[in-house]
Structure 1
Amino acid sequence: MEPSASLSGVGGTSLGVARARAWESGRPDRLFDDPYAAAFAAAAPVTRRAVSPGSARARLAFHVIIRTRFYDDYLLAACAAGCRQVVLLAAGLDTRAYRLPWPEGVRLYELDLPEVLTFKESVLAGQEAVPRCSLTALPVDLRSEWPATLTDAGFDPGAPTAWLIEGLLVYLTASEASLLLTRVGSLSAPGSRVSFERNNAASTIASGDRTGITEYATLWKGGLGEDTADWLDRNGWRTEVHELADVAASYGRPVPDASLSGFLTATY
């Protein structure tokens, strides 16, 4: 999973995620089907490198696959519980708007860097992809002032919202992560939900030998680290922890080795 020269920095990591999703989608026992992931990979080809079992790259790819299915399930459960607004912060090259069976009335907002959304829209247009819900893509830098952009696009802070912050917080400093989550809270009506990785899953996965993932590791800033769940609890959220090993086992994919990573879900 390598970033591409066509999408540099943090934006480039989204291509590595798309490649992992394309690989999983080709398995007969796949946990999800992303019919567009391979098109993203083909639009920005890279030199293939072998993935050794147990390597940091293999662990990171495994995490991406499990989290994709976990977040799919989380979002659909949130909608079943009454959320009709969905906001993907750092949406990357995810195609949930196009591939998940959304209930009627869902409005989905994708926020990410302009270059990521431009690349994504170009590839999806070539695939003649059609979203399965009302979709609004908003080019923003999530370290800057983005809430007004979201509300100006029609987002209603008075309605319950399902927020997803996938693979982002580790790329932020503690102060940037705190500000982002504070803004999410300020826009969340009672009954809103949020989910993201716990314990800075990426850096936990890559503890020790980081061979093959230095493109990612050099961009990590740590986020809120071990304090993330406590931060949510102190700021009005009811938090639940989901260990990666338990989640993977529930999908019939036991973790290949010991893991301290996983996910948080929280309700406001």
Structure 2
Amino acid sequence: MARTDNDTWDLASSVGSTATMVAAQRVLSTREGLIDDPYAEPLVRAVGLDFFVRALDGEINLDEIDPRFNTRRAAEGMAVRTRHFDGLFTDAARAGVRQAVILAAGLDARAYRLPWPTGTTVFELDQPEVIAFKGRTLAELGVEPTAERRALAVDLRDDWPKALSDNGFNPSQPTAWIAEGLLIYLPPEAQDLLFDRIDELSAPGSRLACEHIPDVSMFADERALEIAERLKAYGHSIEMGELIYHGDRNDVVDYLSDRGWDVTTQRMRDAYEANGFTFDEESTIGFFTDMAYLSAVKP
């Protein structure tokens, strides 16, 4: 279903289902020993989307969907992504940052699984149903966060800076921000507003990680559409082309640089190589060739 103004979702519908998809890939990465996210699998199973549960149970063979994008390659791709965003937080912690914000947190369990230094506060922001589900599910599992976790049920299209302020966020302290897998689901003007707000709330020493996707049309190229059609035969109903916002948008690197941030990017091929993996441009992951992972520091 195409996006509309003020649309809402849970973890089994619309944009929320992509968070479940990402968590399912983190399960594969964990099973392959590439990352350690013990909470991804129980969260995905609790959501209960049939395709992902069957995939985790081995009832769906990724090789049959695309022989060049098997389970191992899916696990490697998610490991590259997860390590990038984990690294932003762990590097910031080593630098003395004790305030972290996860935007559009979804099924992100970093507040529970990363080794946060004493005195760290982790703010999670997402739709009310998403925040409630994850907190309730992990509580039922008896899991405790490894930092002071403050989960804020707020739509990023609303006044989320006020929600942060009302819950103890201190803009005079440096903050580590991640916007993982978020930007393509924002209209161009909302992307600008997001970074304007982050900049306003960030003291010197703050850090930020996100993806740099110069052209969202990659999600509608021939390879992407072909894989989407194959997945439908297995009950996979996520239509990325309908969930993202198309059209021209400001370049993230330029936007942050113009506001004084020191920005570095790592192209996908280089990110794979840095993690000891091979980036196969001829396979499904090839349509991410022009994508990069971005890190930025505010001097």
The one-letter code sitting in structure 1 at the alignment partner of 2:87 is D
Worse-matched range after superposition: 185-194 or 251-260: 251-260
Q: How far apart are the structure 2 equivalents of 1:58 and 1:159? A: 40
1:80-229 correspondence runs (5 A): 80-199=94-213, 204=218, 207-210=221-224, 211-212=227-228, 214-222=238-246, 225=249, 227-229=251-253
**DSSP 3-state at the match of 1:209:** helix
**RMSD between aligned residues:** 2.5
Query: CA offset at residue 195 of structure 1?
Result: 0.9
Query: CA offset at residue 175 of structure 1?
Result: 0.2
Identify which of 16, 40, 50 aligns with 1:46. Answer: 50
Q: How far apart are the structure 2 equivalents of 1:180 and 1:64? A: 25
Gaps of 5+ in 1: none
Q: How far apart are the structure 1 equivalents of 2:248 and 2:72? A: 25
Contact persistence 1:238–1:266 (CA under 8 A): yes
Q: Alignment length, in residue pairs?
A: 263
**DSSP 3-state at the match of 2:130:** helix
Identify which of 15, 18, 36 aligns with 1:13. Answer: 18
> Could you say which residue in structure 2 is the equivalent of 1:243?
267
Q: How far apart are the structure 2 equivalents of 1:50 and 1:167? A: 25
Query: CA offset at residue 219 of structure 1?
Result: 0.5
Q: How far apart are the structure 2 equivalents of 1:71 and 1:178? A: 21
Identify which of 64, 68, 83 aligns with 2:82. Answer: 68
Query: CA offset at residue 256 of structure 1?
Result: 2.5
Whether 2:268 is the aligned partner of 1:265: answer no
The one-letter code sitting in structure 1 at the alignment partner of 2:290 is L
Q: How far apart are the structure 2 equivalents of 1:267 and 1:92? A: 24
Q: How far apart are the structure 1 equivalents of 2:250 and 2:210? A: 13
1:230-251 CA distances to partner (integer Å, 9 max, x unpaired)? 1111122111111122222222
The one-letter code sitting in structure 1 at the alignment partner of 2:20 is L
TM-score (norm 1): 0.89
Contact persistence 2:10–2:127 (CA under 8 A): no
Contact persistence 1:20–1:64 (CA under 8 A): yes
Query: CA offset at residue 6 of structure 1?
Result: 5.5
Residues 167/6 of structure 1: CA separation in 2 closer, same or farther (3 Å cut): closer
1:51-107 CA distances to partner (integer Å, 9 max, x unpaired)? 224469998775433111111112100111121100000111011111111112111
Gaps of 5+ in 2: 1-8, 55-59, 232-237
TM-score (norm 2): 0.80
Query: CA offset at residue 5 of structure 1?
Result: 7.8
Residues 59/161 of structure 1: CA separation in 2 closer, same or farther (3 Å cut): same
**DSSP 3-state at the match of 1:71:** helix
Tell me which structure has the larger Cα radius of gyration: 2
The one-letter code sitting in structure 1 at the alignment partner of 2:34 is L
1:176-197 CA distances to partner (integer Å, 9 max, x unpaired)? 1000110111100011111100
Worse-matched range after superposition: 35-44 or 244-253: 244-253
Contact persistence 1:197–1:261 (CA under 8 A): yes
Residues 56/198 of structure 1: CA separation in 2 closer, same or farther (3 Å cut): farther
Identify which of 34, 40, 44 aligns with 1:31. Answer: 34
Worse-matched range after superposition: 195-204 or 143-152: 195-204
Q: How far apart are the structure 2 equivalents of 1:18 and 1:63? A: 13
Residues 181/58 of structure 1: CA separation in 2 closer, same or farther (3 Å cut): farther
Residues 187/5 of structure 1: CA separation in 2 closer, same or farther (3 Å cut): closer
Worse-matched range after superposition: 201-210 or 254-263: 201-210
Q: How far apart are the structure 2 equivalents of 1:134 and 1:56? A: 38
